[in-house]
């Protein structure tokens, strides 16, 4: 990973964290996420609402994720019972919130196109319960 892509990912994570905190969530950024750990990047809690978010900032018209990473996230979601999303933002675009079951398994990865992500997007308003 290059320093530029790290910064882009860091900025995306912090943008999402700020939006969630503004909506009244307590937010935790998981240290070491994405480095073999099954935990998503961000955990958000508000009363009975509990979410995990694996953040991706990818300009491409499709999102590809390593098979191992998605399988770890599925295992984490199952064991924790916390609803887990892939939060994907294309450059200059809005966030897509994609449940793990909507990612398509390929030989070495899981993927989803931007067109399909639009269709299955949970949307920020649905997650936070109001306009942010």
Show the domains of the chain with their CATH numbers. Answer: 3-104+115-128 (3.40.1350.10)
Span 88-106, pLDDT tens digits: 998 878 899 999 999 999 9
pLDDT at 132: 45
pTM reported for the whole predicted model: 0.88
Asked if 54 and 86 count as a contact pair (C-beta separation under 8 A), the reply is yes
Burial pattern 60-85, b for ≥16 Cβ within 10 A else e, equals: eeebebeeebbebbbebbeeeebbbb
Return phi, psi of residue 92, to 5°.
Answer: 75, 0
What does the pLDDT read at residue 3? 46
Cα–Cα separations (whole angstroms), residue 41 to 83, 115, 119, 131, 132: 13, 24, 24, 23, 21
Distance CA 78, CA 47 (A): 20
Residues (pLDDT < 70) of the chain are: 1-9, 31-37, 130-132
Residue 32: its pLDDT value, please? 61
Q: Give the integer Cα–Cα distance in Å for 40 and 56.
A: 11
pLDDT of residue 126: 87
- List the structure tokens of 114: 């931007």
């Amino acid at each position: 990973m290059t320093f530029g892509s790290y910064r882009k990912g860091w900025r995306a994570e912090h943008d999402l964290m700020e939006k969630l905190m503004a909506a009244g969530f307590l937010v935790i950024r998981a240290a070491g996420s994405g480095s073999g750990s099954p935990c998503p990047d961000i955990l958000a809690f508000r009363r009975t609402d509990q979410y995990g978010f694996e953040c991706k900032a990818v300009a491409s018209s499709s999102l590809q994720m390593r098979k191992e990473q998605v399988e770890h996230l599925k295992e984490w979601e199952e064991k924790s019972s916390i609803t887990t999303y892939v939060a994907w933002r294309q450059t200059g675009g809005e966030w897509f919130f994609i449940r793990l079951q909507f990612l398509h398994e390929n030989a070495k990865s899981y993927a989803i196109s931007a067109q399909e992500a639009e269709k299955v997007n949970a949307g920020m308003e649905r997650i936070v319960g109001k306009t942010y």
